[in-house]
Chain A
């Protein structure tokens, strides 16, 4: 008993069947037994004195998103049987529900804090007393890193348990970046304010998140963006991917002391983000994505300028990556380091490029297309070795694929005669609906969903960054590795702290 919708679909709350928990658990478990399915989100919404839970399970083969629901009282007395016992990928969602509302999940392997939100159920839980896993032993030692790291990056704490140089276990404790994003989405009642919020969730995924937000607002308003805008949005998505992937190629080179690879890629990344700046005035695309329209349509002249730069970037990126991935000194550091297997990726619910390097085909552009991806025959690139090399090399392949796609779309935009629309901020959202919007950012799937009340006001807003799933992949990847390989493992995933902490 559940409802199915498509990506960017909406459904009246009243039409979603509310199951008894055992029936809910059975259905969820049954769906997740299929390898085509994974959970994109599972959360609880407070209604009066009760909690209504919504679980979204995406079927990558049928393009459906199944919505299952159950209810409990909103009280820390409530105890539920943990589903993570059988389907480990749900661990993070049950932890989140536990942290927010105090709900107990019996048999959960790891019911620890997620991000210490300001409105958490138990204020006695503070970052200072995070319950790290310990091993009592005279031979092992612990290494703590963070929250402030050596580089110019966001804060988070890593706790290693090591046997000499070898990492036995890594636990990642986050939450330092918590800004109360989800609550602000409810509190701020102007569409523009919410656009700015969406753009600020993760500065490296401005387009991915702001497009998820815009898509959600459009479907809740009951209208869709026009075809021109849909294509321009794909260009924006792919430019973001290209820029970050090239930047990461640079960073991976830095970490193995291949300075030439570092500087050449730095310069190429600059060209790409300056192309975004030429387009909309901001190197990361802030201000570009707005509901129903844009202030920055691409005209033929701009398209030609973008094409010329990207052609240059493509050629040079090919040259330098050919060099990087043929250097024995680089390969020696990347190959068979930080491996995760397809089985592990499936188990933890890995998404995006981390999943695709293990042969697991998870790509929203392909399975649940949004914006202009509907009209593009897009097939994700897959690798199978799941090591640092695969995560580096997949970036190379994806950059080439994205450049190709952007080139084609820019040529198409030059011919298109659909007029560009201005953004609309005065939105009338349909009452008592639940909506979901998925995009495939460069890291993986981004999910925004919202619930409206009888007046069409947003009363609940939920954001999921792909990092929510993938931090566990990093923890697994460094097991049995030398601790000195942690930086390249970390960089090869390049996960978001603020996207996770919200």
Chain B
């Protein structure tokens, strides 16, 4: 019996990713987009028409990662002008940096000036987070669970999800925030001791995504409290989340 387990164990091998900053994801992974400087206003206008969530701007041509659901249809329309790289490091704390402009192929980074002073000293060594799914579709939730699995192993930095907001250093919100969850979310936020982080994961949480204009949402919560990190994606990839959180709390990648 034990022998069977050893056999399985040998084949299981080492699973954790040694350096989460340098993973080469599948070539088709839809990460940070790049828009060619040669895109015309007219082309951008056509892409804007197609875009399901109004993520595309025209002057200059741009994609707002907070609204984009990464369907890649704009690329299929203008394969030469818009492409999606497999760069998964797209989390930031500055909403302006979520907007990728034509001709700007630089990486998405955090804005050091906006990081609150206490974050590094309080959360730089260990971080306990409470996750609240507020009408999330369970895709981001599964990816957040995956952050702690044998592959991504976020626990190695002392970062983990805890069972109660009272034990947490911050909230991680997924989903577009339904009216029916608004109150529970608010209560959860107030149950979390200060100082606390507020992190939005996934396009649905950041902008409402495809649900943005639904009368079943109530996103007032987001106007009331400061947001420390935006983690785009549909769903956000575990590496996007982990790198974003590490940069926020430790100032490095």
Are B178 and A178 in contact, with the CB atoms below 8 A?
yes
Interface 0/1 of A189-226, CB less than 8 Å to B: 01011011100111110100000000000000000000
Are B139 and A152 in contact, with the CB atoms below 8 A?
no
CB distance from B91 to the nearest CB of A (A): 17
Residue B53 lies at the interface, judged by CB distance under 8 Å to chain A:
yes
Write out the residue numbers on chain B whose beta carbons fall within 8 Å of the beta carbon of A116: 180
The distance in angstroms between the C-alpha atoms of A190 and B52, with both chains bound, is: 8
- Name B103-122 residues within 8 Å CB distance of A: none
Interface 0/1 of A157-179, CB less than 8 Å to B: 00000000000000000011111
- Count class of interface residues, chain B: 35 or more
The distance in angstroms between the C-alpha atoms of A420 and B215, with both chains bound, is: 39
Known: A196-B71, A281-B28, A323-B8. A178 touches B235 (CB 8 A): no
Are B163 and A150 in contact, with the CB atoms below 8 A?
yes
Write out the residue numbers on chain B whose beta carbons fall within 8 Å of the beta carbon of A266: 149-151
Among the stretches A65-73, A136-144, A272-280, the one at the interface with B is A272-280
Are A295 and B72 in contact, with the CB atoms below 8 A?
yes
Are B184 and A155 in contact, with the CB atoms below 8 A?
yes
Write out the residue numbers on chain A whose beta carbons fall within 8 Å of the beta carbon of B28: 277-281, 296
Residue A257 lies at the interface, judged by CB distance under 8 Å to chain B:
no
Are B138 and A127 in contact, with the CB atoms below 8 A?
no
Please give me the residue from chain B that is nearest to A192 by CB atom.
Answer: B52
CB distance from A263 to the nearest CB of B (A): 5
Are B8 and A203 in contact, with the CB atoms below 8 A?
no
Are B141 and A203 in contact, with the CB atoms below 8 A?
yes
Interface 0/1 of B180-215, CB less than 8 Å to A: 110110001000000000000000100001110111
Residue B5 lies at the interface, judged by CB distance under 8 Å to chain A:
yes
Are B139 and A118 in contact, with the CB atoms below 8 A?
no
Residue A22 lies at the interface, judged by CB distance under 8 Å to chain B:
no
Residue B156 lies at the interface, judged by CB distance under 8 Å to chain A:
no
The distance in angstroms between the C-alpha atoms of A323 and B72, with both chains bound, is: 42
Interface 0/1 of A255-287, CB less than 8 Å to B: 000001001101100100010011111111011
CB distance from A417 to the nearest CB of B (A): 24
Residue A419 lies at the interface, judged by CB distance under 8 Å to chain B:
no
Residue B145 lies at the interface, judged by CB distance under 8 Å to chain A:
yes
Are B211 and A203 in contact, with the CB atoms below 8 A?
no
Residue B61 lies at the interface, judged by CB distance under 8 Å to chain A:
no
Are A282 and B30 in contact, with the CB atoms below 8 A?
yes
Are B142 and A179 in contact, with the CB atoms below 8 A?
no
Among the stretches B33-41, B127-135, B222-230, B242-250, the one at the interface with A is B127-135
Are B178 and A263 in contact, with the CB atoms below 8 A?
no
Are B133 and A153 in contact, with the CB atoms below 8 A?
yes
CB distance from A104 to the nearest CB of B (A): 24
Are B25 and A176 in contact, with the CB atoms below 8 A?
no
Write out the residue numbers on chain B whose beta carbons fall within 8 Å of the beta carbon of A201: 137
CB distance from A214 to the nearest CB of B (A): 14
Known: A152-B145, A267-B150, A319-B4. A277 touches B132 (CB 8 A): no
The distance in angstroms between the C-alpha atoms of A263 and B8, with both chains bound, is: 11
Are B69 and A196 in contact, with the CB atoms below 8 A?
yes
Residue A379 lies at the interface, judged by CB distance under 8 Å to chain B:
no
Are B142 and A204 in contact, with the CB atoms below 8 A?
yes
Are A178 and B4 in contact, with the CB atoms below 8 A?
no
Are A148 and B132 in contact, with the CB atoms below 8 A?
yes
Residue B216 lies at the interface, judged by CB distance under 8 Å to chain A:
yes
CB distance from A273 to the nearest CB of B (A): 9
Are A204 and B8 in contact, with the CB atoms below 8 A?
no
Write out the residue numbers on chain B whose beta carbons fall within 8 Å of the beta carbon of A204: 138-139, 142
Write out the residue numbers on chain A whose beta carbons fall within 8 Å of the beta carbon of B180: 116, 127, 175-178, 501
Write out the residue numbers on chain A whose beta carbons fall within 8 Å of the beta carbon of B7: 319
Residue A322 lies at the interface, judged by CB distance under 8 Å to chain B:
yes
The distance in angstroms between the C-alpha atoms of A197 and B210, with both chains bound, is: 7
The distance in angstroms between the C-alpha atoms of A190 and B133, with both chains bound, is: 28
Please give me the residue from chain B that is nearest to A127 by CB atom.
Answer: B180
Are B141 and A154 in contact, with the CB atoms below 8 A?
yes
Interface 0/1 of A358-373, CB less than 8 Å to B: 0000000000000000
- Name A68-123 residues within 8 Å CB distance of B: 116-119
Write out the residue numbers on chain A whose beta carbons fall within 8 Å of the beta carbon of B141: 152-154, 203
Top 10 closest pairs, chain A to chain B, by CB: A203-B139, A180-B216, A281-B28, A150-B163, A203-B137, A118-B216, A203-B138, A180-B214, A193-B52, A266-B149
